[in-house]
């Protein structure tokens, strides 16, 4: 053990987010997905043990390796207890010899294969598509009920019931993590892509955490999507378009927030902080995505993100608006409508944008009030401040509130300077 004990409180939540789903996937591949609760319990006990020991002895040299070793040992102990129970109570060992000598490991390739297999297993037609996505976000991505509710713009109680039903359906279906036929993979791929899209979005626009941006979620979404593009059966134009979108968006992560965690608006970002490497990777995957005739929401969003990474283009807002117009036709959402309105204001002016925004009437959406405030800032600072205050009241994250409060402070200073 090397680090001071107080720092484990900062490290463990980060490791939980990164490693929990990986460990669960490997164990589920061994136990079978119908015993997912057993796998989750073992992984949870592993992190509990880390909380207890690291607080006293300090953080080990290789924290992630320590977690995997403890999880493996706990799994062997569990299987040994099960075998003893089977021998003494039923008089016979379980038929599966792997019960006594598990052949699983936590090598990187095993983890990657297990997660890819598990995400398709969870996206099972036994559940409705939305339930499949909810379950995948919880099991594979470690999302809380609150985070899933935010992703679906639903109430937490609704999500809880949906998850309970989905888990029950999986148990009743008695299915295992196993190789799927090509037809099964293709039928489930849309749901898998939707899950990874929502995972990335929660990292890029986090509304349930004190951080506005959560790079760990963005990185995990990219890693899992990359697995799809590296598999012949899942290397589709849609998967490449989604990966292009993630690369373009991630290229601006370092410029999107200051040291205090407050969001920096697109127009105020330090473009020297944009990652040229990620932009180039985005270009690569977007070219791959355009090899067929299909145009998906991911193609359109990747196109929009591409234009956002071209800082020297003076006429980029017109093509961005055109892409948003197409996107609304195939995948309407309140956020897409708001983003289109921003692009509209850039092309035709704030007055036209304001008129368009007010027709949306998304009064429970903090981004709606923030957009109104932005469009009103130059002509009616007082009303803009009131809109910002409404956005602050509706924003759940501390960092998000701080960003909006900064905007209010600037407007008030502007009023004082003009008085």
Tens digit of each residue's pLDDT (9 = 90 or more) over 261-295: 677 888 888 899 999 999 999 999 999 999 988 89
Dist. CA 137–CA 196, nearest whole Å:
8
Instruction: Give residue for tokens 């009103």.
Output: 376
Dist. CA 163–CA 225, nearest whole Å:
24
The alpha carbon of residue 167 and the mean position of all alpha carbons in its chain are separated, in whole angstroms, by 21
Give pLDDT, residue 208.
56
- The tokens describing 329, both together, are 């036709």
* Domain termination site, one of 235, 262, 295: 235
119 lies in the same domain as 229: yes
Return the half-sphere exposure (C-beta side, CA atoms, 13 A cut-off) of residue 325: 7
Residue 245's closest CA among 186, 289, 213? 289
Is there a domain that residue 258 lies in? Answer: no
Residues in Cβ contact with 283 at an 8 Å cutoff, skipping those fewer than 6 apart? 244, 306
Burial class (CB in 10 A: 0-12, 13-18, 19+), 389: middle
In the DSSP assignment, the letter for residue 257 is B
- Please, are residues 100 and 72 in contact by the beta-carbon 8 Å criterion? no
Q: Which domain holds residue 327?
A: 237-248+276-344
124 lies in the same domain as 161: yes
114 lies in the same domain as 98: no
137 lies in the same domain as 212: yes
Residue 189 region by backbone torsions, left for phi larger than 0, else alpha for psi between -120 and 50, else beta: alpha
| E strand residue ranges, 345-384 | none
Residue 273's closest CA among 264, 284, 281, 260? 264
* Domain termination site, one of 180, 207, 235: 235
**Alpha carbon distance, N-terminus to C-terminus of the chain:** 61
Dist. CA 139–CA 25, nearest whole Å:
8
Dist. CA 324–CA 30, nearest whole Å:
45
Give pLDDT, residue 6.
47
Residue 417's closest CA among 195, 396, 409? 409
Burial class (CB in 10 A: 0-12, 13-18, 19+), 162: buried
- Please, are residues 192 and 122 in contact by the beta-carbon 8 Å criterion? no
Give pLDDT, residue 313.
66
Is there a domain that residue 87 lies in? Answer: yes
28 lies in the same domain as 59: yes
Give pLDDT, residue 29.
65
Tally of domains within the chain:
4
Instruction: Report helix, strand or coil for 263.
Output: strand
Is there a domain that residue 254 lies in? Answer: no
Cα dihedral 15, 18, 24, 26 sign? negative
Q: Which residues of the chain have pLDDT under 70?
A: 1-6, 8, 29-35, 83-114, 141, 173-180, 206-212, 261, 313, 418-419
Give pLDDT, residue 35.
66
Q: What is the CATH number of the domain that holds 409?
A: 1.20.58
- Please, are residues 321 and 344 in contact by the beta-carbon 8 Å criterion? yes
373 lies in the same domain as 316: no
Give pLDDT, residue 209.
56
Dist. CA 289–CA 294, nearest whole Å:
9
Is there a domain that residue 255 lies in? Answer: no
228 lies in the same domain as 186: yes
Q: Which residues pair with 46 in a beta bridge?
A: none
In the DSSP assignment, the letter for residue 176 is -
Distances (CA, A) of 231 to 91, 124, 220, 240, 378: 45, 20, 17, 12, 51
217 lies in the same domain as 241: no
Residues in Cβ contact with 309 at an 8 Å cutoff, skipping those fewer than 6 apart? 248, 251, 252, 274, 279, 282
Dist. CA 333–CA 331, nearest whole Å:
6
Is there a domain that residue 113 lies in? Answer: yes
224 lies in the same domain as 163: yes
């Amino acid at each position: 053990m090397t680090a001071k004990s107080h720092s484990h409180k900062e490290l463990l939540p980060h490791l939980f987010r990164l490693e929990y789903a990986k460990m669960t996937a490997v164990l589920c591949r061994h136990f079978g997905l119908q015993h997912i609760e057993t796998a989750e319990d073992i992984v949870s006990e592993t992190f509990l043990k880390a909380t207890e020991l690291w607080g006293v002895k300090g953080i080990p040299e290789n924290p992630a390796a320590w977690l995997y070793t403890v999880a493996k040992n706990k799994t062997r102990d569990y299987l040994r207890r099960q075998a003893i129970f089977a021998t003494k109570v039923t008089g016979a060992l379980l038929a599966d010899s792997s019960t006594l000598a598990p052949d699983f490991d936590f090598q990187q390739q095993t983890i990657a294969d297990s997660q890819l297999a598990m995400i398709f297993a969870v996206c099972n037609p036994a559940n409705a598509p939305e339930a499949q996505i909810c379950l995948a976000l919880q099991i594979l991505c470690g999302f809380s009920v609150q985070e899933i509710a935010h992703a679906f713009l639903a109430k937490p109680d609704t999500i809880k019931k949906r998850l309970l039903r989905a888990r029950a359906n999986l148990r009743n279906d008695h299915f295992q993590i196993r190789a799927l036929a090509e037809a099964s993979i293709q039928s489930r791929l849309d749901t898998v892509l939707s899950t990874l899209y929502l995972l990335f979005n929660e990292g890029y626009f986090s509304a349930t955490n004190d951080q506005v941006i959560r790079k760990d979620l963005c990185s995990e979404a990219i890693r899992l999507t990359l697995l799809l593009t590296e598999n012949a059966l899942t290397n589709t134009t849609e998967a490449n378009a989604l990966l292009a979108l993630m690369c373009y968006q991630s290229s601006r992560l370092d410029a999107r927030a200051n040291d205090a965690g407050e969001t920096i608006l697109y127009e105020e970002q330090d473009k020297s902080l944009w990652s040229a490497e990620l932009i180039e990777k985005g270009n690569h995957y977007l070219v791959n995505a355009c090899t067929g005739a299909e145009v998906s929401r991911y193609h359109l969003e990747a196109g929009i993100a591409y234009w956002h990474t071209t800082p020297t283009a003076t006429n980029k807002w017109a093509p961005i608006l055109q892409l948003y117009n197409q996107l609304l036709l195939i995948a309407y959402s309140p956020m897409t409508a708001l983003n289109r309105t921003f692009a509209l204001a850039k092309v035709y002016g704030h007055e036209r944008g304001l008129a368009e925004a007010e027709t949306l009437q998304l009064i429970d959406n903090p981004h709606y009030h923030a957009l109104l405030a932005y469009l009103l800032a130059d002509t009616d600072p007082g009303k803009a401040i009131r809109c910002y205050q409404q956005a602050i009241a509706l924003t759940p994250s501390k960092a998000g509130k701080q960003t909006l409060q900064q905007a209010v402070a600037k407007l008030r200073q502007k009023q004082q300077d003009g008085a």
